[in-house]
Structure 1
Amino acid sequence: MTTYRGSCHCGACRFEVDTDLDHVRSCNCSVCRRRGALIHRVPESALRMLTPLEDLTVYEWHSRTARDYFCPRCGIMPFRIPSAPTAQETAQGKLPFAGWAINARCLEGVDLASIPVRLVNGADLS
């Protein structure tokens, strides 16, 4: 387990996360493909906010079950709460995830080219 420090571009949003960064996810849904974030999920207890969540801007869309946290100054999304499984995903046996999705592009000292990328076909979920 490694502790990573992370931040938005301007540094107004800072955090630490404990994880084994063994992969990242790249989703092709309408928001994610525009955003370009590389996501790694961690349990709720693995993320420590060094900036109060209240200082960030929240974006909710579609099912309104996900919460994307953005820096109000520079607009970068360092982390999010993933959406609840859709009816289609639940029917396929997917369980809800209780934790955080960290944008690995916001972590310091990470060689993203060395981390396997798992593709998520979010565009086909309704």
Structure 2
Amino acid sequence: MASKTNVRSGRCHCGAVRFEVALSDGFNSIRRCTCSYCRMRGAVVVMAEMGGVRILEGEEMLTTYRFHSGAARHFFCSRCGIYTHHQRRSDQSLYAVNVACLDGTSPFDFFEVPVMDGVNHTSDTGKPTRRAGTLRFIPAG
């Protein structure tokens, strides 16, 4: 598990699902993705290793969604519908956690977020993951 400084608490919108996450590399792994699903979901995520997400309350409230290859498992609160985290397709030993669910954290805390090319996913192409661009947040003056 990551160091104590990288352990964060989180929850869904309604609070039915509460969890603790040990971030693998703090917020250094922050990213977005261009795949069809992530494009619609719009979440900014950060990585946690297998075992790094611990559900404290409401595990029975979580529901999952799988698409395309079925390898990635996306977890949602069945009450409020908020996406909390998913097991990654390209590296199933990692979970991507929605930063908007982490207490005291907002996707708008990050001025630049790398955007990965999920349309041309490495598991489909056999090529290394490609960075598609950068999402920038510029606060109004």
Q: For residues 71 and 114 of structure 1, what CA distance do their matches in structure 2 show?
A: 24
Unaligned runs of 5+ residues in structure 1 are 86-95
Provide the secondary structure at the position in 2 that maps to 1:34: helix
2:134 match: none
The match for 2:101 is: 106
SS at match of 1:32: helix
Instruction: Report if the CA contact (8 A) 1:17-1:47 is conserved.
Output: yes
TM-score by length of 1: 0.81
1:10 to 14, 18, 22: 14
Identity rate, percent: 37
Deviations 1:49-69 (A, max 9, x none): 113534311100000000001
- Matched residue, 2:32: 26
Tell me, yes or no, if the aligned pair for 1:23 and 1:118 is still in contact at 8 Å.
Answer: no
TM-score (norm 2): 0.73
Secondary structure of the equivalent of 2:46? strand
Amino acid at match of 2:18: R
The number of aligned residues is 115
Matching of residues 83-94 of structure 1 within 5 Å: 83=89, 85=90
Q: CA deviation at 1:45?
A: 2.7
Structure number with greater CO (CA < 8 Å, separation at least 6) is 1
Report which of the two has the higher share of strand: 2
Residue 53 (str. 1) matches residue 59 (str. 2): yes
Contact 2:50 2:93 in 1 (8 A): yes
RMSD of aligned C-alpha atoms?
1.7
Does the aligned pair in 2 maintain the 1:38–1:103 contact within 8 Å?
yes
Q: Which moved more, 1:47-56 or 1:34-43?
A: 47-56
Per the TM alignment, residue 32 of structure 1 is displaced from its structure 2 partner at its CA by 0.5
Residue 22 of structure 1 and its aligned partner are, at CA, apart by 2.4
